[in-house]
Amino acid sequence: MKYNILNKMHDIIKLSLFGFLLLSNGINAQDTVGIIFDKILFYESANEPLQKKDRIYSNSFKPETRFINIELTVKNLEYKKSSHKYKLIFVWLKPNGENFGKINASFNVKKNWEKAYINRGWGYEKKGNWAVGVYTAQIFVDGKLFAEKKFVIDSAKNNVKATKINTPYSIKKRYSFIGLSFYDAYVIGSYDGISFFNSGDEIIGVPKLTNGKGAQFKWGLTGDWSSMEFAYLLTVHDFTAEIPYEPDSIYIATGKAYLNVVKCLDFKLYSHISKNLFWYGGLDLSISWTNIKNISYSFSDQDKLGKATYSGLILGLEGGFLWNPINKTSVFLGVSPAWQVESSLKGILRKKYNIKKFNNFRLGLDFGVTYNFRE
């Protein structure tokens, strides 16, 4: 009964998530930023345009500087697809954080531009008005902070490292996340339903598993186009097993098998497809244990059936798609082929036995959502 309820909830919530996907696509499409940060450069000029070939870039300037220009370069995620127009705000902050310069600008990014840049400047007509200190330049895109970088006013020139603040849907900024997904698992191999183990004290059957369904909870950290995740996965399977009885009879055991997986090392790499859609690939190393009811008995009491536990390691690959329909929320769909190596076994007597050459191929289909703890 518990498994039937879990199965129905699995299907209902999966359909609900598909509905959420369709609704989110229509409501939040206009929220997407189709550009990502590439770099910020600074250069000095008078109060007039300066050709790019004549610009001298630096992160440090003297107090005699007149205008300090911010040159922003971005990568176009809609390259060869569509053109877009963005509203930008350039802001200059004093060392104490006071806003002393602000310029609004329109930024037209054409579809045939793989990269695009825009620049604006702020300063003084006469030399000698810049106070010594560390200043901050900020750029807002469509009302959201997109990037910032510091520059220095000093007699001696110093290099200042850029600080990147990513677009709302970029996964380059480090943050933690939690996720919940629904999982379909297919297991074939040494779990054949015919074999058995005889320790001399007990008989332990080998199950044949049907396709299982379950859920996975995960937590991880993402940054620089990669993620490290940890997860717990439980899938429930029906099984059958042929268990020999003395002298020449066979008992057909049936019941539930519970496959538990703890992902200790789950590493993924991400890449943009378009806007807020990514594909990912990775690998994981997990420990697993499978609890199976009514599949073993001891020679001292053959009428009493007990459970068995198979334990081992799983080495797997992962691939799939991740979509950010709204800020802080991601939806993913993935496939996970894996090699499951069982190394130990316990039967009704709960004695531990080491086993060899007991391997299974496991294929997982994963569909779920994550919540991202972005700042």
Tell me: do 119 and 260 sit in the same domain: no
Task: Answer yes or no: is 165 within a domain.
Answer: no
Task: Answer yes or no: is 108 within a domain.
Answer: yes
Comparing CA positions, the residue from 349, 264, 265, 274 lying closest to residue 306 is: 349
| Domain termination residue (choose one: 118, 153, 188) | 153
CATH number at residue 114: 2.70.50.60
Task: Answer yes or no: is 144 within a domain.
Answer: yes
Q: How far, in Å, CA of 48 to CA of 241, rounded? A: 84
Tell me: do 215 and 182 sit in the same domain: yes
CATH number at residue 362: 2.40.160.20
At 268, the amino acid letter reads K
Spell out the residues 6+ positions from residue 242 whose beta carbon is closer than 8 angstroms to its own: 193, 194, 196, 205, 250, 251, 252, 253
Tell me: do 50 and 15 sit in the same domain: no
Q: How far, in Å, CA of 70 to CA of 121, rounded? A: 6
Tell me: do 121 and 182 sit in the same domain: no
Task: Answer yes or no: is 164 within a domain.
Answer: no
Tell me: do 149 and 249 sit in the same domain: no
Residue labelled with tokens 């997904």: 181
Tell me: do 212 and 343 sit in the same domain: yes
Task: Answer yes or no: is 103 within a domain.
Answer: yes
Tell me: do 175 and 75 sit in the same domain: no
Tell me: do 148 and 69 sit in the same domain: yes
Omega before residue 49 within 30° of 0, cis: no
Q: How far, in Å, CA of 148 to CA of 165, rounded? A: 7
- Which range of residues forms the domain containing residue 268? 2-28+171-373
Tell me: do 64 and 16 sit in the same domain: no
DSSP element (H, E) containing 282: strand 277-298
Please tell me the predicted confidence (pLDDT) of residue 30: 30
Task: Answer yes or no: is 162 within a domain.
Answer: no
Instruction: Provide the domain count of the chain.
Output: 2
Task: Answer yes or no: is 160 within a domain.
Answer: no
Tell me: do 56 and 117 sit in the same domain: yes
Task: For residue 348, report the phi and psi dihedrals to the nearest 5 degrees.
Answer: -65, -30
C-beta separation of 360 from 373 below 8 A: no
Tell me: do 57 and 11 sit in the same domain: no
C-beta separation of 188 from 360 below 8 A: yes
Structure tokens given for 241: 């097993």
pLDDT in tens, the chain (375 residues): 444 444 544 444 443 443 333 333 332 223 346 898 899 999 999 888 788 888 999 999 999 999 999 999 999 988 888 898 999 999 999 999 999 999 999 999 999 999 999 999 999 988 889 999 999 999 999 989 999 999 999 875 444 444 443 333 333 446 789 999 999 999 999 999 999 999 999 999 999 999 999 999 999 988 757 889 999 999 999 999 999 986 678 889 999 999 999 999 899 998 878 767 889 999 999 999 999 999 999 999 988 999 999 999 999 999 999 998 887 888 999 999 999 999 999 999 999 999 988 999 999 999 999 998 864
Which 8-state DSSP code applies to residue 130?
P
| Domain termination residue (choose one: 103, 119, 153) | 153
Task: Answer yes or no: is 354 within a domain.
Answer: yes
Structure tokens given for 94: 């004093």
